[in-house]
Amino acid sequence: MKRHRGGGFSAVELITTVTVFSVMLAAFFVFYRSQALALAQQERFLNAKQNAQIGLDFLARELRTAGSRPLPESFTGCGVAASTATVCFGLGGVKGFPSLVNANATSLRLLADYRGDAFASAPDGCPDDAAEDVQYTYDSGSGQLLRTPVGGTATPVIEGIAPGGFSLRYFAYGTGNPPPYVEFTGNLTADQIARLTHIVITVTTRATSRIPGVSAIVSSQTSTIDVRNPAC
């Protein structure tokens, strides 16, 4: 009489099934992990780029107001020193304040008259009120671009800057017809500041990669700012 095997899996079938399932699960885990790391990598890149762009836009906006003087006739007697440039356009022989002070490749100080002594008051002709005299400095040690109002506290505008990843370049018209652009380097003189036409800002930020063996995430951005009030 023929005997039939009872229901269920044999040990070989069970081991084979578990092995195949384990291989599929491992493959899925590897795929999921690679996608999660790639997404995190992309998110860190976008965050680094966005944060740098916000800081860059903030600096660009202030640079466009540098040297603004709605009431130049009120500058006489101001506590801020007048420009020493020989190419200024004075009013009645009186020179105004410079747009930039101590400008070089990694820092600058800008002046602008856009308010009076009280908040939201009209300009008074002198850039000595809150946030009218501002210093920007690249701190290579901390990887930050710092903004310091005169008499105030330094605050970071851009963070995560790569070593040597911040630079300011200054340009003006040279001689010739048509006049070519010339670049001023080093610490700018008063005459060079008064002749400026535009400033090029370059920022390179870096974020640590989350993928083993992959180098740091790097984002580089450049902005060109027209100097609207170059003459003093």
Q: Where are the domains of the chain?
A: 12-226
Which stretch of 56-60, 86-90, 223-227 has the lowest confidence by average pLDDT?
Answer: 86-90
Full DSSP string of 10-45: -HHHHHHHHHHHHHHHHHHHHHHHHHHHHHHHHHHH
Residues 6+ apart with CB under 8 A from 129: 115, 116, 117
The mean pLDDT value of the chain amounts to 83
pLDDT, residue 119, reads 82
Label residue 47 by pLDDT band (50, 70, 90). confident
pLDDT at 20 exceeding the cut of 80: no
pTM of the model: 0.78
Identify the helix (H) or strand (E) that includes residue 169.
strand 161-173
Contact 58/159 with Cβ under 8 angstroms? no
Nearest alpha carbon to residue 48 among 209, 224, 206 = 206
pLDDT at position 214 over 80? no
Burial of 179 (0-12, 13-18, 19+ CB in 10 A): exposed
How would DSSP label each residue in 209-228? -SSTTPPPEEEEEEEEEE-S
Q: Given its phi and psi angles, is residue 218 left (phi above 0), alpha (psi -120 to 50 degrees) or beta?
A: beta
Percent of the chain predicted with pLDDT > 70: 81
- List beta partners, residue 205: 161, 219
Sign of torsion, CA 19 24 27 32?
negative
Summarised one tens digit per residue, pLDDT across range 63-95 is: 999 998 887 777 877 888 888 898 887 666 678
pLDDT above 70 for 229 = yes
Q: What integer pLDDT is reported at residue 8 of this predicted model?
A: 65
Q: Identify the CA nearest to 203 among candidates 134, 140, 155.
A: 140
At 198 the three-state DSSP class reads: strand
**pLDDT tens per residue across span 30-42:** 766 666 666 666 6
Residue 213 has pLDDT above 70, yes or no: no
